[in-house]
Structure 1
Amino acid sequence: MNKIIVAAALLGCTSMPALADYPERPIELTIPAGAGGGTDTSARKLALLLEEKLGTSIAVLNVGGGGGSVGASQFMQAKPDGYALFATWNSPLTTVPQVQNVAYTLDSFTPIASTSETAYTLCVHPEFPAETGEEFLAELAANPDKYTYGNDGIGGTMQLAAERIFQARGIKAVAIPFGGAGETLQNFLGKHVDIYGGSISPVLPYVEEKQAKCLVVTSAADVPALPQAAGLASLGLGDKETLLWRAILGPKGLDQAIVDKLAAVIDEAVNDPSYVEFLASKGEVPNVVKGEALGARLKTEFDALAVVSKNLGLAK
């Protein structure tokens, strides 16, 4: 018996340096969207800070498609050793599974920490016959099925956010799904769709260059980065608010000690003044929810959106 106890103690001691030395090699960060979108740009900026704080390199892997479900499905095969992380927005986890058959559930991942949140926005080309949010909605309402809007995938959070607004105003617009905000933006700029629906950060430079005008944000409040855009409260639709938020997760079974270490480092990086300034320039704010609390947030949102998706006729 004493030999067994000693052996167990030795095993415990040998595992401690492994965590103390973590990470000992590069980390791969999977982003379930194409390059150039809001999650991609935010995650890449954050990765630079995490590299400094963790003392290792982080390789970014973009896996777009299916509103984020392709990347999520691929990532769930990763080993839970701390060297594979998943930088996502909420839609692939809480919205897409409502309307698509996916290979994963919330239990397929280990929540580590959320990083930021923001509104979605609806933007049009400069020649669009509206200059305010109210005029924009009136134009859509007067022309059923005339206008197309790009979004981040069938049943994605952007589509859900738009449809909550449209349903409330009796609007019928044609949803065109893409692989992420970056792909949506390129098709919008190429005038393959009439309306950009997506996160604020990718479209913001084009707003500043007068190549797009954003007229509505999906938050109840206005967003300072988009002064022409109306918050939903000003349109009498404050109860239709839908936010986009981002998070870092690991594979199922990730050691709690690694989760805690990563969550602490992510918290530091997100609140680094340079990252806070970066987020503000993109119309986002820091928002760190860690571990079990993040898991609870995901579950609460998943359950709420299940009801909303069913009511909107989007449920699978």
Structure 2
Amino acid sequence: MKSPKKTLLSLATAVAMTVASGAALAAYPEKPIQVIVPWGAGGDSDLTTRIWADAVEKELGVPVVVVNKPGGGGVVGTSFVARAKADGYTLINAGLSNMLVTPNFTKTPYSFDSFDPVVKFTSVPLAVVVAKDSPYQDFDQFIKGANSKTLTQGSWGASSSGTIMANIIANQSGYNVKYVHAKGAAASMVSVVGGHIDSAVSFPPAFGPHVKADRARILVMDQKMDAFPGVPTFSDYGIKGSFGGWSGVFAPKGVPAEVVEKLNAATAKVMKDPEVLKAYENIGALVDYRYGPEWISDLKATYAIYTEEAARTSKK
């Protein structure tokens, strides 16, 4: 049996540890936060994350540093964060590809359940893009061209969301392409405007600058955008489904709830800032700020849909 003196000492130690732990959480963040983007620089994930990071660091009072760690169709950087300490100082740029698609269609050392979703900032519509001097003036001509010879199409990994959505679009349209995989959508667009590949599936932050500079042309995209008037949508061609990506931030599983709350509080403020909203508009990203249980429930439901699709296609 413990002596009264030892019992009091144990209680005092426990109280001290609890107070210290609470103080540590209350003080978050006390040092720089790094956000891993598992893709190359210049793509939609990179640009949307940098806008968010630059804005929230002013609210948090510490540097929020974006680090590109591409490779393996997003698996390298995402796996790195899945193994990181769940203290809120290492976060991952999360999106349709690395969180919902890739873990279902290829073997990865992580799954959706390896992370705690923090916040979503934007969504972006997928598009099929060609160089300005391409012989394919519209999507009908592209389909005919793909049926008469092998056309190349840039994407960012065999099991990436881009390739999987592109396959669905091609199947419904009745054509095939040869995929050329790059480290990200931005790298694919460089290949398109350089004349190295015939087309690419891409998102506005990656193709927008090339279109505005008259180096590239959009043939078709998931939804209409004021920034790109007159472009037909997939539904205009009878293609069924939703083809778009999104960008947000997740933390390693087990991150303290207080950390998530602080990151969300900072995000809520910056998403009302006209300069931040304009920055997203300038790169062609649609602000789609979401967080909390309802959003997480939607993510899990979408993850289950891709799980079913992966099981279906594996039986073919």
Q: Does 1:40 align with 2:46?
A: yes
Quote how far apart the aligned CAs of 1:82 are: 1.3
- 2:85 matched residue in structure 1: 79
1:191 to 192, 195, 202: 195
**Is contact 1:93-1:298 (8 Å) kept?**
no
Is residue 31–residue 71 contact of structure 1 (8 Å, CA) maintained in 2?
A: yes
Distance in 1 between residues matched to 2:315 and 2:29, nearest whole Å: 41
Matched residue, 2:151: 147
> Which TM-score applies when normalising by structure 2?
0.90
C-alpha RMSD over aligned residues = 2.2
How do 1:117-132 and structure 2 match up within 5 A? 117-132=123-138
Deviations 1:258-295 (A, max 9, x none): 11111221232233221211222222222122143343
State the Cα distance separating 1:104 from its structure 2 match: 0.3
**Greater Rg, structure 1 or structure 2?**
2
The residue correspondences of 1:99-138 to structure 2 (distance < 5 A) are 99-138=105-144
Q: 1:245 to 1:315 in 2, by over 3 A?
A: farther
Provide the residue aligned with 2:167 in structure 1. Answer: 163
8 Å contact kept, 2:121–2:288: yes
Quick one: distance in 2 between partners of 1:271 and 1:176? 39
- Point out the more displaced range, 264-273 or 58-67: 264-273
| Cα distance between partner residues in 2 of 1:111 and 1:77 | 16
CA pair 289-314 structure 1, distance change in 2 beyond 3 A: farther
Task: State the 1:309 CA deviation.
Answer: 4.1
Q: 1:117-164: per-residue Cα shift (whole Å, max 9, x none)? A: 010111111232333334433433x325x1110012112111122111
**What is the aligned partner in structure 1 of residue 181 from structure 2?**
177
What CA deviation, in whole Å up to 9, does each residue of 1:225-263 have, x standing for no partner?
2224311222222x3222100110111110011111112
- Which of residues 36, 46, 56 is equivalent to 1:50? 56
Q: TM-score, normalised by structure 1?
A: 0.90
Q: How does 1:210-225 map to 2 (within 5 A)?
A: 210-217=214-221, 219=222, 221-225=223-227
Contact 1:223 1:231 in 2 (8 A): no
> Is the 2:49–2:248 Cα contact (8 Å) retained in structure 1?
no
Flag the 1:300–1:161 CA change in 2: closer, same or farther, 3 A.
same
Q: Which residue number in structure 2 is paired with residue 257 of structure 1?
A: 258
The letter for the 1-side match of 2:308 is V
- 1:227 aligned residue (209, 226, 229): 229
Does the 8 Å contact 1:225/1:282 carry over to 2? no
User: Across the two proteins, how many residue pairs are aligned to each other?
Assistant: 310
Alignment partners' CA distance in 2, 1:226 and 1:64:
29
Helix, strand or coil at the partner of 1:227: coil
Shift of 1:113: 0.7
Distance 2:308 2:28 in 1: 41
Amino acid in structure 2 at the alignment position of 1:25: K
Amino acid at match of 2:309: V
Q: Read off the aligned partner of 2:277 and give its amino acid letter.
A: V
- Residue number in structure 2 paired with 1:204: 208
CA distance in 1, matches of 2:315, 2:183: 20
Contact residue 133 and residue 229 of structure 1 kept, 8 A: no
Question: Which structure 1 segments of 5+ residues have no match?
Answer: none
Aligned equivalents of 1:66, 1:46: Cα separation in 2: 25
SS in 1 for 2:307: helix
Residue equivalent to 1:28: 34
Asked if the contact 1:224–1:283 (Cα under 8 Å) also holds between the matched residues in 2, the reply is: no
* Alpha-carbon shift at residue 165 of structure 1 (Å): 1.3
Matched residue SS, 2:232: coil
How far residue 110 of structure 1 moved from its aligned partner, in angstroms, is 1.3
Cα deviation for residue 84 of structure 1 reads 0.8
Native 8 Å contact 1:263 1:291 kept in 2: no
Runs of 4+ residues over 6 Å off in structure 1: none
